[in-house]
A and B are shown apart, each in its own frame.
Chain A
Amino acid sequence: MLNFVELLLMFVSVLLAVAFLTVAERKTLGYMQRRVGPNAVGYYGMLMAMADAAKLLLKEMVMPTHADKLMLIMSPMMSLMSAFLCWSFMPFAPGTTMSDHSYGLMFTLAMSSVGVFGTLLAGWSANSKYSLLGSMRSTAQLISYELMLTTMVLLCMLLTGTMNLSKYVELQESMWMGVPLFPMSMMWFMGCVAECARPPFDNVEAESELVSGHMTEYSSSMFVLFFLSEYTSMLFLSTLTSMLFFGGGTGMMLGMKANMFAFTYMWVRATLPRVRYDKLMHMCWVMFLPLLFGLAMFLPSLMYFMDAMVYTYPTM
């Protein structure tokens, strides 16, 4: 019984984190552009997210006439599921995880790649030009950057010799992986921003060209699901950044690190203009990927010749 309470607590805290992240984003963007942002609902606009959620849940659910209804409903659910299931192997403290599995990181990778299907199906099913264009763009961008991120996770796994995230954090007691892999951690951050389709790389829902990308035809609760999944995966990736490269941590410490990275997403959004789409893809395929190939050959060789391969076996 207590297990279920714990599960619900974790789930609700993820949801609340997402809710307050949206308010925090609006506030941050507001102050960065010399305005106040939301400040009317609750103390300093803290309850803005609740008000937004209530408003969206009371709105009409518009079903486009030419749409494929089943796919239209399925796709936000798929992206929400993939975003939430990423959290299932995330250790918040030693042993404080939903499932302490020795192949957790692999499951996490698999789940984060399932998210692509949500956007792809959403764009196809809505039967609108903007949706289709947006989903084409977002699919190409997400799979390209996912390739990059997966390679980096693989290299991190090579250095620590484990796929269990608790073990991974434990292994970083000697050194944060972000220090020996500093250039790679910078690349990882750029890849994360692109994977979340966050503003410098938000060509998938560029408001001025495609109305809202693959979410054009979505309204009310289905839009909420997409919104939730987007912000959940953003929070997840910032937590994963702090876990893979910056030592993870216990409870509060991990939360602070993750928040710092979540803040950088907003900072980048307020600072930089949008990158042209072909430049973005070019950066992934022609700059990052060859670099990562080089690293994937260099790092194992270095580790072999320094005799620094970690010896663990998977059941430990």
Chain B
Amino acid sequence: MFTFFFYLAPMVAVVLMLMNYLMSNENPYVEKNGPFECGFTSYHQSRSAFNVSFMLMAMLFLPFDLEMSSMLPYVMSAYTNGLYGLMMLIMFLLQLVMAFVYEMNLGALNLTRNYTPMIKPLKHYLYKK
């Protein structure tokens, strides 16, 4: 039954669009069809550069999403894995937390860039000579 539901959802979308296409009247002209702008005609600037922090956010999403998918098998077999699985999970998460703390310290999660040195000195050495 799921298979039919899988087909039904896009079919409904197509039917709606087709109905609209058949029923509606059309009166296109340049100003209407152009990209939306507040009162003046937009020239080709639409695909402009965007802030790099959005890209950074997407990049940061990847390792954490991978983390989710690596936690999933443990979550489903927690009883069977016992203490060994638990220790592995906690070690894995601790490593991730360390990396996360490093990221937060770098200011990679801040969307607002004030063009001031935001990077605090991180003590990455274990001892000083």
CB pair B10 A57 closer than 8 Å: no
Kindly identify, within residues 2 to 41 of chain B, every residue whose CB is under 8 Å from any CB belonging to chain A: 2, 4-6, 8-10, 12-14, 16-17, 19-21, 23-28, 30, 32-37
**A98-B2, A129-B46, A150-B68 known; A225 and B93 CB under 8 Å?**
no
Chain B CB count within 10 A is highest, among A76, A304, A314, for A304
Contact with A along B40-70 (1 / 0, CB 8 A): 0010111110110010011011001100100
Main secondary structure of the interface of B (DSSP, over half): helix
Number of A-B contacts (CB under 8 A): 200
Flag if A66 contacts B46 (CB, 8 Å).
yes
Expressed in whole angstroms, the Cα–Cα distance for A139 and B48 within the complex equals: 17
| CB-CB under 8 A for A293 and B93, given A11-B5, A154-B72 | yes
| Interface flag for A35 (CB, 8 Å) | no
Chain B residues contacting A282 (CB-CB under 8 Å) are 109-111
Chain B residues near A256 (CB-CB < 8 A): none
- B96 proximal to A (CB < 8 A): yes
A155 CB, min distance to chain B CBs, angstroms: 8
**Would you call A151 and B68 a contact (CB within 8 A)?**
yes
Task: Give the contacting residue for B42; candidates A128, A211, A281, A303; CB below 8 A.
Answer: A128
Q: Mark A280-316, 1 if CB is under 8 A from B, else 0.
A: 0110011001100100110011011000011100100
The reply to whether A66 and B35 form a contact with Cβ atoms under 8 Å apart is yes
Which single residue of chain B is at the shortest CB-CB distance from A102? Answer: B76
Q: Which residues of B contact A290 (CB under 8 A)?
A: 97, 100
B15 to chain A: closest residue by CB = A221
| Secondary structure class of chain A's binding surface, majority of residues | helix
Tell me if B104 counts as interface (CB < 8 A to partner A). yes
> B67-86 interface mask toward A, CB cutoff 8 Å, 1 = contact, 0 = none?
01001101110111011001
Are B42 and A81 in contact (CB-based, < 8 A)?
Answer: no
Q: Which residues of B contact A304 (CB under 8 A)?
A: 78, 82-83, 86
Of A21-29, A140-148, A180-188, A236-244, the one touching chain B: A140-148
In Å, the complex CA distance between A225 and B8 comes to 14
> How many Å from the CB of B34 to the closest CB on chain A?
6
Which of B65, B78, B110 has the largest number of chain A CB atoms within 10 A? B78
Cα A303 to Cα B78 with chains together (Å): 9
**B112 located at the interface, meaning its Cβ lies under 8 Å from any Cβ of chain A in the complex:** yes
A77 & B13 in contact (Cβ 8 Å cutoff): yes
- A3, CB-defined interface residue at 8 Å: yes
Contact status A132-B47, CB under 8 Å = yes
| Contacting pair A85 B86 (CB below 8 A) | no
Instruction: Confirm or deny: A171 has a beta carbon within 8 angstroms of a beta carbon on chain B.
Output: no
A301 to B82, CA, bound (A): 10
Instruction: Report which residue of A132, A158, A216 has the largest number of chain B beta carbons within 10 angstroms of its beta carbon.
Output: A158
Q: Which of B2, B48, B90, B111 contacts A277 (CB 8 A)?
A: B111
Q: Chain A interface (Cβ within 8 Å of chain B)?
A: 3-4, 6-7, 11, 56-66, 73, 76-77, 80-81, 84-85, 88, 98-99, 101, 106, 124, 126-133, 136-137, 139-140, 143-144, 147, 150-151, 154-155, 157-158, 161, 163, 211, 216-217, 220-222, 224-225, 277-278, 281-282, 285-286, 289-290, 293, 296-297, 300-301, 303-304, 309-311, 314
**What are 29 A-to-B residue pairs whose CB atoms are below 8 Å?**
A7-B1, A57-B19, A60-B28, A61-B17, A62-B33, A64-B35, A66-B35, A77-B10, A77-B14, A88-B5, A128-B37, A129-B45, A129-B46, A129-B48, A139-B54, A151-B71, A154-B71, A163-B76, A217-B35, A222-B17, A278-B110, A278-B111, A281-B57, A293-B100, A300-B89, A301-B90, A304-B82, A309-B78, A310-B79
B residues contacting A by CB (< 8 A) are 1-2, 4-6, 8-10, 12-14, 16-17, 19-21, 23-28, 30, 32-37, 42, 44-48, 50-51, 54, 57-58, 60-61, 64-65, 68, 71-72, 74-76, 78-80, 82-83, 86, 89-90, 93-94, 96-97, 100, 104, 109-112
Q: Please name 13 further chain A to chain B contacts, defined as beta carbons within 8 Å, in addition to the given A80-B10, A80-B13, A131-B36, sorted by A numbering.
A: A7-B1, A7-B4, A11-B12, A80-B12, A129-B37, A130-B36, A140-B58, A144-B57, A161-B78, A211-B36, A221-B19, A278-B110, A300-B90
